[in-house]
Structure 1
């Protein structure tokens, strides 16, 4: 037996913590365990719009599991990660959407065979550097040091340090907010050019991150927003980060009533109102288009631009018609 039609299922509280294989078996009891594992390996199963290749992955409540008649694309290979700059101290890469920047601490003890089912950008770049330098992937020269992250669905430029000195130097620039980071985001409707400043907290009252009164303890966040291109029902905006808090752009735009298209978390306000989208875009329409900093060792100013990925570019082409 196989999958004859696409099936979507939103994980209930009752099934939270179950393995992906168990969820698929519940949805398709006619499938054998071996058949389920094969379908997962062949990219027929997605969790929250991302292909999952790990049958032992435990699901969380409200996640969406989708069983696909046709497999979804192919896995990323280390050769597909574009390296924009590589020297002995750092590496700048183009992150594709749908890949975690780094592995969750709880997953770092996984066996390599399990990690290979869902490689992170850190994993892929480490392997590519090892391949290019003809070194073992576990060698010290291949190891990456994390100084920056992008959300899984976000594409764009990202830097990893390769030495302790570079890690300290880049870390200080991020801490001092001197790193140049410019993003492109598509939003429904429009928004006035402005600088958004708020205090971000981990829990705004409904378990999600958000802004709080300035009198409350939290982290200052500043996003500068300008208009790039206006469409009939959408606007492409540029967002320059003065600070770089977790989900900062997504939170700030959503709190102004203009969530990033494809937003799943912050479209719902703290009072339960669901903000409109209408784009049908399956992921966050958010792209880290520019990155600039001072090389932590040489002192040389460095700057890169990255074009939009194909799916984002096609969306804009469609809106221009």
Structure 2
């Protein structure tokens, strides 16, 4: 009896690449002995993405398209797909064809070996600058040291999850979502498949350095309290140094009768302590802001419309 299988594809302004992506994905699914489904999630695109998805759903009964009410971000779009899906195995993949759909049968084979999460690890990466590769590698290594939940290196969102792994993810309703961390946090048996990542097939990337920096901050603050510890030790160190220096100035005045000059030194100390305090307040503010967002308990997303049907999984 064939198993049920679904592919979740978050899409934001991907009209240029959708036809080619769906053709390659459909060819892969045709070769898999499974009852398959494709869930496209339009994350509030401003181009013709939704119209293209409606056309794909009309032409292919396996396709179901969701349109979110606005751009909630990729993490929310993936969550919408996980909330909608009902399958024995689920693959999450981007529509830009940097991650090859042809790798899906290998992910399925590893899942059938008994793994709950099979993540695709990037080996060689085309179409990326040295700066991008360096900063990406640095981020994963920093997270490896800071987080209590180890993240696999050089691994994006492209992966397969079993039914119970998806059900576990559905229980995690935090608003500040860093999906790579959540994938690792749920545990279960996980393994990797190394692949060659291609350059973007068409269109422009949505991940500039500003958004990537914000994602890095999100990941660090969601899965580590190390910045708070750093702020604490920075404050302790600054206070200790200030005390020792003040003691030294006092002893000089008492023993040798040196006049207390040191206007430049005083300014350096004041600026150092002020900077350390502002840094600590900024770190604390990041965590307080996330606590505030969680306390409001707003929904993660809203679905504006659906198109296409869900095939009956048996």
What TM-score, normalized to structure 2? 0.26
Quick one: higher RCO (CA 8 Å, sep 6+), 1 or 2?
2
**Greater fraction of residues in strand:** 1
What TM-score, normalized to structure 1? 0.25
**Greater fraction of residues in helix:** 2
